[in-house]
Structure 1
Amino acid sequence: MNKAILFNFNVDKENNQIKVERSFNAPIDLVWAAWTEADILDQWWAPKPWVAQTKSMDFREDGHWLYAMVGPEKEKHWARVDYIKIIPEKYFSAYDSFCDAEGNPNSSLPRNKWENNFTDRIDETLVNVVLSFDTLEDLEKIIAMGFKEGFAAGLENLDQYIASQFYLRKQNKPNNKAKVSTYLNFPGKTEEAFHFYKSVFKTDFINGIQRFDDIPPASQQPPVAENVKKMVLHVELPILGGHILMGTDAPKEFGMSVNYGNNMHINLEPESRAEAERLFNELSKEGKIEMPIQDMFWGAYFGSFTDKYGINWMVNYQEGRTGQ
């Protein structure tokens, strides 16, 4: 996560275009998902303190995404994205326009065409964006509305989301022994909950409590908000029979939301890559895949899904350190 982040923003008035070049310290499948799946877009697309709220999304050619930018006073500004061409994990184009809550275009505000190209650099992804406007006046109106600052802030949200979600998983396992644990998320009450569990099971935390201000700083990422710094990034507590409870807070400042039903996963750590793939494929049949199982930039072979009975799972295989 410490690799320098590229961000170039150029206005080409001769061709009525805005050109953006942006890198992400994440593999292409993760970045592609972040740009094309509503539940992830809602977590980063809007600049703070605004949030994006999807009403409907159908990511396919001739499909569309209807969403609102929701302000701190709950005011809503609606937008519609109409998808034109899609080449998975490589390219998509779309028309972006302001609209009402039903998706009817607002002709008094400019519409533009987006063309997004994704380039795989193994542990880094480069996204090139070209926005084309009908007139120079339309381009200048969007610039005057603060597009550069808002878009840059949204991209920083995505960087922070990646850092907070995956920082700890980059650490190597001590060995390849199979493990099963339960992963819990709370909206700011992880420490309170885990002290309660600790008092009940009369055990101690493994390696203490790690907090959001333990994330290694990156020069081009925004600092963690003061009220988030002391929230729990990761905690582990043995309970019965060697079973481990793991937990983390899900700060609303990162665009995260926790609801009953999505705040607990069974985390499987099998002894081999082949077994990880088998478990993932068989358990996820007829379910909903959140993240396909794949090699991740923190060194794990990882995937997550909700099975056909509504149970949330993570499958996480990672090579143990040699000689142990």
Structure 2
Amino acid sequence: MNSNLLFDFSVNKENNTIHVTRDFAANLSLVWDAWTKPELLDLWWAPKPFRTKTKSMDFKEGGGWHYCMISPENEVHWCRLDYRKIENQKSYSGLDGFCDEDGVLNMEFPRSLWNNEFAVNGENTTVNITIKYETLEDLEKIISFGFKEGFMMAMENLDQYIEAKFKLRNELKLDRLPRVCSYLNFPGNTEEAFLFYRSVFKTNFSGNGIQRFGDIPADQNHPPVAEAIKKMVLHVELPITANHVLMGTDAPEEMGFTLIQGNNMNISIEPETREEAKRIFEDLSAGGTITMPLEDMFFGAYFGSFTDKYGINWMINYKNN
């Protein structure tokens, strides 16, 4: 876990609750999606070495999430979360419990009422989680199962996903010279596209070539990347003509993205100074729609993105020292 991110875990035996406060180094929209879209929950929800697989989800009040956690030995543990109240990008609550493959609750295990609240905290997003059990016995039973340790591991899985999704590969640019690049997003076929571009322009990939999500080294602070995204392209750069560079990454539906013609390409500007980055961002975004405010980001850049008033997508990226 990133030690700079807020984390607090407490147990209140007087009212049979667990309270968790956790920061994530991403904007509110991405963190909300990671908690509410099944294709993203499947990437991080289960503590390693377990994995999550969704059978069905209907994210609405009165709907539910039916999923299982699978062990390395392929033992399957089914769960069900029944949604009660949802306020978009603010909070949701629901009853969670163990069940069978058909969704029939297992009453031998306690159910819990989850209330998750999401709030912007500077460049991070804070999630406040309150989990309430009917009895003290139920609470102590869950704690004895190692809930705290397992939940912490799941949070670290989400950190890994966020870091892999947003990390800009600054090591490929070793100087302060300004440049303009085209940043391309593909629904899972980045490698195919860039092999084609390479054959046309007769150039080679920069740096270490195609970098994949699975290339990110695992250590005690960064658990292994989920199997579902290991082979996807994290980043690739290809010089073409007149010193122009194409950059690309995979952004498939499985990771919560919806790419359509027009939103899958950005003009990426890397100014020489921080002041110039701010000036260009403010002037060029006037009258447009800011998708990510220009801020110091956790991946070591002064970064922001927007769509200008003519519908063109831009990224401003100044590499911090």
Q: Distance in 2 between matches of 1:32 and 1:46?
A: 17
Contact 1:203 1:238 (8 Å CA) reproduced: yes
Matching residue of 1:42: 42
Q: Distance in 2 between matches of 1:26 and 1:116?
A: 17
* Residues 126-159 of structure 1 deviation map (CA, whole Å, 9 limit, x = unaligned): 1111111111111111112221111111100100
Query: Within 5 A, what are the aligned runs for 1:157-196?
Result: 157-168=157-168, 179=182, 181=184, 183=186, 185=188
Q: Aligned partner of 1:71: which letter? A: S
- Name the SS of the counterpart of 1:29 in structure 2: helix
Unaligned regions of 5+ residues in structure 1, if any? 251-255, 278-291, 304-314
Q: Distance in 2 between matches of 1:174 and 1:89?
A: 39
**1:317 aligned to 314, 318, 321, which one?**
314
Q: Aligned partner of 1:319: which letter? A: I
**How far is 1:165 from its partner?**
0.8
Matching residue of 2:273: none
241-250 or 135-144, larger mean C-alpha shift: 241-250
- Name the SS of the counterpart of 1:300 in structure 2: strand
Contact 2:182 2:247 (8 Å CA) reproduced: no
Matching residue of 1:282: none
Matching residue of 1:237: 238
Q: Distance in 1 between matches of 2:287 and 2:209?
A: 31
Q: Distance in 2 between matches of 1:178 and 1:274?
A: 21
Q: Evaluate the alpha carbon distance shift between residue 213 and residue 174 of structure 1 in structure 2; reply closer, same or farther with a 3 A threshold.
A: farther
1:222 aligns with 2:222: yes
89-98 or 176-185, larger mean C-alpha shift: 176-185
Matching residue of 1:106: 106
- Name the SS of the counterpart of 1:150 in structure 2: helix
232-241 or 161-170, larger mean C-alpha shift: 232-241
Q: Distance in 1 between matches of 2:56 and 2:77?
A: 15
Query: What is the RMSD computed on CA atoms of the aligned residues?
Result: 4.4
* Residues 25-82 of structure 1 deviation map (CA, whole Å, 9 limit, x = unaligned): 1122221111111111111101122111111111111111111112222221111111
Q: Could you tell me the TM-score, scaled by structure 1's length?
A: 0.69
Q: Evaluate the alpha carbon distance shift between residue 180 and residue 20 of structure 1 in structure 2; reply closer, same or farther with a 3 A threshold.
A: closer
* Residues 59-112 of structure 1 deviation map (CA, whole Å, 9 limit, x = unaligned): 111111111112222221111111111122222111001111121111111101
Contact 1:209 1:232 (8 Å CA) reproduced: no
Work out the number of aligned pairs and report it.
284
Unaligned regions of 5+ residues in structure 2, if any? 270-283, 298-302
